A and B are shown apart, each in its own frame.
Chain A
Amino acid sequence: MLFEIENLQKIYGNDSVKTPALQGVSFNISSGEFVSIMGPSGSGKSTLMHIMCFLDKPTDGQCKFEEKSIDDFSDDELARIRNKKMGFVFQSYNLLSRTNVFDNVKLPLVYSGFSKEKENEMVEQALKSVGISHRAFHFPNQLSGGEQQKTAIARAIVNHPSVIFADEPTGNLDSKSGQQIMDIFQKLNDQGHTIILVTHERYTAEMAKRIISLKDGKIISDELVNSRHYAKDGLIK
C-alpha cells in the first residue's frame, strides 16, 4: 500500500479558537492509482494533500507513506523523500520567473546530487514526455499558461517520483490547455505513476479512476469512476 490514512485529524488555531480542517479521514491508496480528491473550498482537501506529502503534520491519526509516517523521519529525510519520491504540480505553476524552462525543470535535481550529464539527460527526458522540449530555453513569461503548467509537470516528474501531487493543476487554464494537461496526467498514470489530483471540478475529477469527496473535513464518498473521461477524446464540458 502506498498510502495508508487512518482517522486523520487536523485542527488549526490556538487553544482558544480551534478550526478543524480534517475530522477523521481514513482511506488507502495503492501504487498506480489515479485519485481525485474533490470538494468545495474549505473542505480540507489541500490540508489533506499537505499532510500526505509530509509538508504538514496531522493533529491526530496516521498518514503512512510506504509504511512510514512523518514522525519516523528527520526534517532532512523528509526533504529527501519529497525530492526523490514525490512530484508537485501547483495551480499557479510556481516557476522561477527569471530562470528558463530547462533550469526550472532541473530544480529538484539540484538537491539530488546527480552528475551534470545525468541531470541534463533527466531534464531532457522530462521535457520530451510533456512535449515542451522546443521551449527549453524560453523564460516562463514567454510561455502560455498551458506551457507553463507543462513545464511544472516536467519538473514534477524529472526525478521519477512514485507519486505526483497535483493541486488544482487546471484551475488557472483555459479548457483547451486544461485538457492537454489532463491528457499528460492520464498518460503518466498509464506509464505507472500514481497521481493524486486535488480539484473542485467534477468533470476534471472524473478523469481520474477514483474520486474521494470531502466536505467539512469528512469523506462523504469514496468511489471508483464509472464513466471515466479521457482528455484525448476532447472536451465535452
Chain B
Amino acid sequence: MKLSNSFQTALIGLKTNKTRSFLTILGIVIGISSVILMMSLGDGAQGLILNQIMSMGPNNVYVEPGSFELEGADMTQQMMEGMEIKTLTLEDMEAIKKDPLVELVAPMVLSVSRVIYQNNDKKVTIFGTSPAYHEITESRTILGSNFTDFDIQSRAKVAVLGYKINNDLFQDENPIGKTIRIKDVNFKIIGVMEELGTQMFLNVDEYVYVPVTTVQRFLLGTSHIQSSAIKIVSQDKIDEAMESIRLILRERHNIYNPEGDLSKDDFKVVSGKESADMMNMVTSILTMLLSSVAAIALIVGGIGIMNIMLVSVVERTREIGLRKAVGARKKDILYQFLIEAIVLTGLGGILGIILGIIFSYLAAIVLSIALGTQWLFVVSLKSIILAFGVAAGIGIAFGIYPARKASELSPIDALRYE
C-alpha cells in the first residue's frame, strides 16, 4: 500500500468521526498551546529582564556589600539584615574612582519615607546618590537642574523629583524652588527628572533623588552606602575592571585573599551582564517547570488518543478482517492506524500551535498593560518545533499499541466479529 493511500484512508477514517476526532485532539491542542504559551512567557520574561538590566547601561558593574557565595542560612540571614550590612563607604568609592578603568562611580542609598508637600502626603523611595548616577543612566532633568558634586560635599538639602512624583505632588504647579518635607527635614526642589519608566524593575519615576551624603546624615544616620553603580571605560575592560575593584576593596577592608576566593570578601562586584545571566537562569528554570506542567497535559492528551484508537480498532474489527482477506499485509494495517493517530496528533499540534501563538500574543498585551512596560511577544521557532515534535512523538508512542493490536487481529476472527 502506498503511503499516500495510507494518508487518504486515515483522513477518511477521521472525517467520518468528526466530533470524536475533534474531542480526541482537544487534549493535544491544550497541551501544545500551553507549552507554547509557557515558553513564550519565559522568553518574554528574559527579554524584559535583559531590557531592564541593560537599561542601566551595558558596561556597568555594581558593588554591593556582603559575600558572593553565601549559601542557605547565611544568604537568608544576609537578606533579612539587608540594610544593616555596613561594609561599603563613600571613601571606598572615592578609592575606586581613582582606578583608570573606572569612568564614573555612583554610590546609592535607599530610604523609604513619607514626603509631604502642603496637604499632599506620599510614601516614596528616597534615592541618595551622586550626579554620576544620572550620567551613568544617561537621564536628564526636564525642569530645573540636577544636584552637583558641591551639593554632595555640602550635604545640601535639595531634591530632584521623579517624573511621576512631581505629577502626584505638584500636578500643574511649577515645583522648582518649592519646599517638601521628608522626615521632618525641609528639602528644596531643584529639578524634575524626565520620564524613565522602569529600570531594574524599579519604577524610578517614583523616586526622589537627594545627594547621598544628605540621606546618610539626615535620613538614615549612617556613614555607609548600600551599593554603587560603576561605569567602566569600555565594555571589553569589564572583567579587568571588576578584578581591579576587588583588589582595591580588599586592600581597604584588610581582607587577605590572594587566591581571589569570592566567598572571603565582604562585598561583591557583579556586572550587569552577570546579573542578567543569573536572572535568565532563574527564568529558564521557571519556564522549564511551567512547560513540564504543560507537558503533562500533552501526555494526558496522548492517552486520550490511545484510548480512542483502541475503541476505533475494536469498532472496525470487521474492516480490518476484510482488508486482510483482500490482501492487506500486517504492515499495511499497522501503518493505517499509526498514520491515523499521527494525523490526529498532527492536527492537534497545528491547532495547538495556532492557539498557543494567539494566547501568547494576548498574554503579551495583558502583561504590557499590567506591568506598565513593554512585554515582548516572542514565539521562538524552537518552541514550535519542540511542540510539534512532541505531538508527533506522542502520536507514534500512543498510536503504536492500538495499531499493533489491529495488525495482529486474525482475519477469520475479525470477519466473524459482530
Contacts and interface: CB of A to CB of B under 8 A. Distances in A.
Interface of A: 50, 53, 55-56, 75-76, 79-80, 82-84, 88, 90, 94, 96, 98-99, 107-108, 110-113, 155, 159
Contacts of B12: 98-99
Contacts of A84: 327
B415 A79 contact: no
B143 interface: no
Nearest to B330: A75
B412 A56 contact: yes
B325 A88 contact: yes
The binding surface of chain B is classed by DSSP as helix
Contacts, number: 58
A76 B329 contact: yes
Given A55-B325, A79-B327, A82-B326, A111 B412 contact: no
Contacts of B327: 79-80, 82-84, 108, 111-112, 159
Contacts of B323: 107, 111
Contacts of B329: 75-76, 79-80, 111
B118 interface: no
A224 to B, nearest CB: 30
Contacts of A90: 415
Contact of A111 (B16, B318, B326, B415): B326
Interface of B: 1-2, 5, 9, 12, 16, 318-319, 321-332, 411-412, 415
Contacts of A94: 318, 321-322, 415
Contacts of B318: 94
Given A50-B412, A111-B1, A96 B326 contact: no
A55 B326 contact: no
A40 to B, nearest CB: 18
A145 to B, nearest CB: 17
Contacts of B328: 79, 110-111
7 contacts: A55-B325, A79-B329, A80-B327, A94-B415, A107-B326, A110-B328, A111-B328
Given A55-B325, A159-B327, 12 more contacts: A55-B412, A76-B330, A79-B332, A80-B327, A83-B327, A84-B327, A94-B415, A110-B1, A110-B5, A111-B327, A111-B332, A113-B1
B171 to A, nearest CB: 73
- The 10 A-B residue pairs with the shortest CB-CB distance in the complex, in nearest-first order: A83-B327, A108-B326, A111-B327, A98-B16, A79-B329, A94-B322, A76-B329, A82-B327, A79-B327, A111-B1
Contacts of B319: 96
B9 A110 contact: yes
Contacts of A159: 327
Contacts of B325: 53, 55, 82, 88
A74 B322 CA distance: 19
Contact of A155 (B321, B326, B330): B326
Contacts of A82: 325-327
A77 to B, nearest CB: 9
A155 B16 CA distance: 22
B411 A55 contact: yes
Contacts of A98: 12, 16
Contacts of A108: 326-327
Nearest to A113: B2
Contacts of B330: 75-76, 79
A50 B321 CA distance: 13
Nearest to B318: A94
Nearest to A165: B325
A110 B323 CA distance: 10
A75 B1 CA distance: 15
Nearest to B332: A111
A56 B411 CA distance: 9
B324 A79 contact: yes
A10 to B, nearest CB: 12
B360 to A, nearest CB: 38
Nearest to A82: B327
Contacts of B5: 110
Choose among A75, A94, A111, A155 the residue with the greatest number of B CB atoms under 10 Å from its CB: A111
A55 B416 CA distance: 13
B216 to A, nearest CB: 84
B339 to A, nearest CB: 13
A107 to B, nearest CB: 6
A59 B324 CA distance: 22
A111 B329 CA distance: 8
Contacts of A99: 12
